[in-house]
Amino acid sequence: MKSSWMLVAAALFALMSVLVKHASASFSPAELVFYRSAFGLLAIWAAIAIRHRQVWAPLATPCFNAHLWRGLAGFTALVLFFYALSQLPLATAVTLNYTAPLFLAALSAWWLRERHGRGLVGAVLLGFVGVLLLLRPQVQGQAWLPALAGLASGMLAAMAYVNVKNLGRLGESEWRVVFYFTLLSTAGGAAWMALVGSHIPQRADWPWLIGIGATATVAQLALTRAYHRGRTLTVGSLAYTTVGFSALYGVLLFGERLPLMAWVGMAVVAVAGIWAVRASTSTPPDSL
């Protein structure tokens, strides 16, 4: 199934969030955004060079403005998400960021003019309810600012996903889309570091930084392929599985004990994903 690439992306994005949360104790959000993007940029550059024996020809594009808007939306969403991860509990930050599919439902209907049945829209809404049941984010005291940043990251991520879909319609390859996103994010992260300062990573820091870059790059490629080849709302619904993966990582890696309501939320998210897949099979495909 074409949309199943989102499951790969979800597992890796959840793992990236765990790594970012751990590394945020030593690095600022500016540094983490830079390293996350720089490693991805180098990996994609090397892969294109090895595959094509030249670099610039495969990257030439007549759609630079579209890449620019996708990159700006994605970079800003990333900045806000990393800031939320550094200030909020992992569960709360991930929950706020993964309101993106809910925003995506409205954007895809208005921007892409896609026709969606009530079943698919209902699956997205049910998935959002499952997210709330699973993680039950609570914002207290002065945490309203990072919480607002996390929510804004979800909205901007949805805008980035719609731009990815548009780039797919324009015939842009997954590699090219991810390359320009990582290029813009690396440049933006470097500029941010120049403003707020940085420090040289120690030997023990590199596995965490490389892990963030590797998981983010592969996840981004999988996500881009999913949005290129699958239905926007179906892929958006499957994105909710990132929440489930995050909960699983919490249990296995940190020994977190989830309350009964959290497990109920996981079940609701799983049901919503299955419902979305079934609903999409009975819905007329997009005329791409």
For the segment 14-54, what is each residue's pLDDT rounded down to a tens digit?
Answer: 999 999 988 988 888 888 989 998 988 888 777 777 766 55
Quick one: what percent of the chain has pLDDT higher than 70? 78
Q: Are 100 and 56 in contact (CB under 8 A)?
A: no
The enclosing H or E element of 212 equals helix 206-229
Asked whether the predicted pLDDT for residue 76 surpasses 80, the reply is yes
By CB atoms closer than 10 A (0-12, 13-18, 19+), residue 206 is exposed
CB proximity list for 18: less than 8 A, separation 6 or greater:
90, 246, 249, 253
Q: Give residue for tokens 């999913």.
A: 226
Amino acid at 271: V
Instruction: Read off the pTM.
Output: 0.76
- What is the per-residue pLDDT for 287? 30
Q: Give residue for tokens 């969606």.
A: 116
Asked whether the predicted pLDDT for residue 66 surpasses 60, the reply is yes
- Express each pLDDT in 221-235 by its tens digit: 787 778 777 776 677
Q: How confident is the model at residue 236 (pLDDT cuts 50, 70, 90)?
A: low
Query: Which of 70-74, 90-94, 100-104, 276-280: highest mean pLDDT?
Result: 70-74
